[in-house]
Chains A and B, each alone.
Chain A
């Protein structure tokens, strides 16, 4: 019985893992906005929506002001992960880091909004057009 099971595992486990991960990638791409190129689903070179072509806007606001903030260079890796798989949890982590940086400034902000954009193209003219992949708002705790 055990040897039969071991033989089956030898033959099927790697393919089973590939199928499970790739199926999960399909799910994340359709539900969480994961880039088709990433996540082990073999969607590379199938879409113009590659991680490198996505970008993120961070906006802070209070009752009277709304403005975009610059993304610090040392958060580049975090931003890249967040744009590739913009789940609420991942964006929330990035929002917390940005909020911590903003809290050192003179203005008290109530909310931070993160927008992840991808580039689409017109089929005939190839004219680029932004597509909002995900937007999430996070309330900032008062200091």
Chain B
């Protein structure tokens, strides 16, 4: 038995053309809703994505997906080393789609690639968080990030119970620019208990969900933790992208997750579409800043 055949039996589910089309269309929507690349690359990617979304003949054209993979790769190369991680993932995923559209067992090969790529993403994320970061598991990362990253201000203030003055004081202290000289007011800052609890809860949630996703997606199909992969990925996207506005990454993960639905899993497929739309709403309606912040005054 060849390596590919063995892979199929270990990892692949019973999928189908419906599922392949959904995964491809979600990927194209990701490209259209979150355009990537510079002035030269972007129009080409947008044009190819629009054509493929409108024409089912082009949707299944491997060369079109190979071109998208190439353009996404060129973008990573031109931006090196500044490109975000999902720029790399987009190139791998478009390459996977291109390769699998050349195969007779497109659905199984695509499901296999989606499973492996999602699993590896979270495996490497765990390696960084658990082993290499040095200040993630103890909660330092979230305590600092919730105060320093402007994208989290609304969430930090609402969930952490910080009024505007306290938030600003903590932000100014943590964001000081120091080059090997002592920070000003080192002993004067006391983090509110509720904010500390929020940072610890965020750490515990992220550690557990990242590890769970890595295990569930790398586990052989239809066995043990693998059965939980869809709900885990959907919950991860619902929670994470409500706070961290990295919609392009979320949509890409959802496309790869959708590629693994079986034909019978109609509700799961609908859930992937619903969460895709939800992430769009998160982006268009900054709930923390626009809806809840005015209530805090």
Which residues of chain A have a CB within 8 Å of any CB of chain B?
4, 6-15, 17-19, 21-22, 26, 28-29, 34-48, 51, 53, 55, 57, 80-81, 84-85, 117, 119-123, 125-132
A13 to B100, CA, bound (A): 11
Query: A115 CB to closest chain B CB, in angstroms?
Result: 8
Q: Which residues from A are CB-within-8-Å of B176?
A: 128
A96 to B127, CA, bound (A): 37
A132 to B180, CA, bound (A): 8
Confirm or deny: B99 has a beta carbon within 8 angstroms of a beta carbon on chain A: yes
| B140 with A128: CB separation less than 8 A | no
Q: Which residues from B are CB-within-8-Å of A40?
A: 76, 83, 85, 88
Chain A binding surface, main DSSP class:
mixed
Which residues of chain B have a CB within 8 Å of any CB of chain A?
2-5, 7-8, 76, 80-85, 88-89, 92-93, 95-96, 99-100, 102-103, 109, 112-113, 116-117, 120-122, 124-125, 127-129, 132-136, 138, 140-141, 143-145, 147-148, 173-183, 186-187, 189, 191, 206, 244
| B125 with A125: CB separation less than 8 A | no
A and B contact pairs by CB, cutoff 8 A, 30 listed = A7-B103, A9-B99, A10-B4, A11-B3, A13-B99, A14-B92, A14-B99, A14-B116, A15-B120, A17-B95, A18-B88, A40-B88, A42-B128, A43-B85, A43-B128, A46-B128, A47-B128, A47-B134, A47-B141, A48-B141, A121-B144, A125-B189, A126-B147, A126-B174, A127-B173, A127-B182, A127-B186, A130-B177, A130-B179, A130-B180
Q: Which residues from B are CB-within-8-Å of A17?
A: 92, 95
With A18-B120, A41-B124, A130-B181 known as contacts, the answer to whether A121 contacts B244 (CB < 8 A) is no
Q: Which residues from B are CB-within-8-Å of A48?
A: 135, 140-141, 144-145, 148
A120 to B182, CA, bound (A): 12
Chain B binding surface, main DSSP class:
helix
A141 to B162, CA, bound (A): 55
With A42-B124, A46-B132, A55-B177 known as contacts, the answer to whether A10 contacts B102 (CB < 8 A) is yes
